[in-house]
Amino acid sequence: MCDITNFETAKEAICADYYNYARLSKELRNDWNIIKLVIENWIGCEFHDFTQSLRIKSTIRLIEKNCGKLQLFWDHTTNDDLVSAALVVSSGEVTLIPIDLRYDTQYITKLVTCKGQILLDLEPSQINNEVIVAAVLQCEELFSDLPDETKSNKEIILALVSKCSEDFFAQLPKKYFEDFDVALASVKRCGVQNLKYFSKFWDDVNVVYSAVIYNGRSLQYASDILRDNEQIVIAAVQNQGDAIQYAGKALQNDRDVVMALVRKSPILINYVPEIFRGDYGIMIVVVKSNGKNLKYASKELQNNHRIVSTAVYNHKTALKYASKELQNDRSIVSAAVLNYGTALQYAGEELRNDRSIVSAAVKSSMGKAIQYASPALRDDYEINFNTIFNINIIDPFQYISSNLKNDFNFMLRVVSYCGEYIQYASRELQSNKQIVLAAVVNSGYALKYVNNPLSIDIDVVIAALRANACIEHVNESLFKNPEFIHKVLHLVPNLRGRHIKLIKCEILVRVLKTCPVMDLLFTLI
């Protein structure tokens, strides 16, 4: 149905969905500006979007159906027009290349970059090294279809081996595996181990060195002589720490090699021979990177004050691997818990019973460290009270012991400061009238956490209303109790606070709804 005849409407429709092209009037379907808009919006503007695109093919078929000859496009192309490229790539018809572009290397290169197979249909005069390389990089299987003359072009081979995937080497003529330049170009790529294909050069210093600086693990293909070459091994481990496993035994025990390893990958200290775990210079580098690496240090260095201080400063479990002596060292433990409060669990028994140490640990761990304190301090009133009220924790009682939650004096003090914290008290204390009264006096909203018989205790509810006029938490059954009604009506004139008029009205409405004894209302007069 051709229901779109307005140019601006047509533009909006095309931008929304290219299938709307079929809805355009015949005049608009043949308008070059509309056709170009379809191509630009739905074929794309970058070459890598063209390859094997069903969207392109669908679009072109749609336009061909309505416009007939594709030659229409060539009347509007420029030297770098993406529209012409899109048409050639999608159809694979090189005969569609405009005459003025057929020998333009840059244009042809862009085409084969999108669809390498186009190379096979080009004329010899349209092909050069740049075009061949671009085509093969786009489709490596093309290499096997190239003439022997092209495969013997070393310039092309050098360009390809430095960029192609590992699968490409299966197609490479054998003679190139013995070519120094090809070998050198192949190994100079990050993350690849192409050295394995060039066994002739496994004892060549230049080739092996070039390989290991781009991928240290290439050391595994080096000859035994070069695995004992300090310069090559250091270069390998500086690139890839675990390459040390391929070094000769002598160099695996070489301090310079080990130092290069730990500077690059301290975590690989476990590859290092035992003798170096007692080397201060090496281990200080390792623990500076990750304090947990203290576990790999010798017993002597686990008792070294500076080594351990450095370790506990940057990892929460480092203190675990310190010597017993330093686990009882006040300065070491203080540094540990100030950075990672939970490190308290690895401190000596005496320091876990130290009030200042435990307080610092609890503060830096957002309360969590209290569980690692000594039994005496775990239930300490002051430490736990400070945890609840002086540390910004979502659940302030998360690490408070059940003993304290059932401790009358502690919870009385807590709810006197924050009534709503009665929700964390034990069931026994939530049924204690003195505790509940203290809570609702502090905050009437604490009433919502009282679910036992005290929730309908007149003294408790009146105290809650006096504190916050929290009428919404009052049990409905109380409004049928004459004693409660009498007290609440006496209370209403004294209520203060925001929206208090509304609250007074709500109380009166509740009373009127539930109490037939109207003469009690005279109490308000």
Checking 428-437 for CB contacts under 8 A at 24+ apart, the result is 429/405, 432/408, 433/457, 433/459, 433/460, 435/408, 435/411, 436/460, 437/463
Question: Distance (Å, rounded) from C-alpha 173 to C-alpha 205?
Answer: 24
Question: Distance (Å, rounded) from C-alpha 438 to C-alpha 416?
Answer: 6
Phi (first) and psi of residue 322, to 5 degrees: -75, 160
Question: Distance (Å, rounded) from C-alpha 236 to C-alpha 218?
Answer: 8
Phi (first) and psi of residue 373, to 5 degrees: -70, 170
DSSP H/E element including 302: none
Question: Distance (Å, rounded) from C-alpha 284 to C-alpha 377?
Answer: 35
Question: Distance (Å, rounded) from C-alpha 495 to C-alpha 323?
Answer: 65
Q: What is the pLDDT of residue 157?
A: 93
Contact (CB, 8 A) for 324 and 318: no
Question: Distance (Å, rounded) from C-alpha 10 to C-alpha 344?
Answer: 72
Question: Distance (Å, rounded) from C-alpha 62 to C-alpha 67?
Answer: 9
Q: What is the pLDDT of residue 463?
A: 83
Selection from 28, 40, 20 nearest residue 87 by Cα:
40
Question: Distance (Å, rounded) from C-alpha 515 to C-alpha 480?
Answer: 6
Radius of gyration of the chain (CA): 41
Q: Tens of pLDDT along the chain (525 residues)?
A: 567 888 888 888 878 876 777 788 878 877 767 766 766 665 443 333 333 344 444 445 544 444 433 333 434 444 345 555 555 655 566 776 767 778 888 888 877 887 788 888 888 899 999 999 999 998 999 999 999 999 999 999 999 998 988 889 889 999 999 999 999 999 988 777 899 999 999 999 999 999 999 999 999 999 999 999 999 998 998 888 888 889 998 888 889 888 888 888 888 888 788 889 999 999 999 999 899 999 999 999 999 999 999 999 989 999 999 999 999 999 999 999 999 999 999 999 999 999 999 999 998 888 889 999 999 898 889 888 888 887 777 788 888 888 999 999 999 999 999 988 999 999 899 889 999 999 888 888 888 888 778 877 878 888 877 777 666 677 776 666 677 666 766 665 555 444 444 444 555 555 545 544 444 444 444
Selection from 181, 187, 174 nearest residue 158 by Cα:
181
Strand, coil or helix: 515: coil
Instruction: State how far Cα 130 lies from the chain centre.
Output: 41
Q: What is the pLDDT of residue 510?
A: 56
Question: Distance (Å, rounded) from C-alpha 186 to C-alpha 217?
Answer: 15
Delimit the domains of the chain by residue range: 43-172, 186-271, 404-525
Phi (first) and psi of residue 4, to 5 degrees: -110, 115
The owner of tokens 């004992």 is: 228
List CB contacts of 392: < 8 A, sequence separation 6 or more: 366
Q: What is the pLDDT of residue 39?
A: 63
- Structure tokens that stand for 127 in this block: 């092909």
Question: Distance (Å, rounded) from C-alpha 517 to C-alpha 268?
Answer: 85
Instruction: State how far Cα 186 lies from the chain centre.
Output: 35
Selection from 363, 398, 401, 359 nearest residue 382 by Cα:
359
Instruction: State how far Cα 430 lies from the chain centre.
Output: 44
* Residue type at position 189: R
Q: What is the pLDDT of residue 46?
A: 36
Q: What is the pLDDT of residue 315?
A: 92
Instruction: State how far Cα 221 lies from the chain centre.
Output: 36
Strand, coil or helix: 24: strand
Selection from 59, 125, 133, 124 nearest residue 89 by Cα:
59
Instruction: State how far Cα 371 lies from the chain centre.
Output: 31
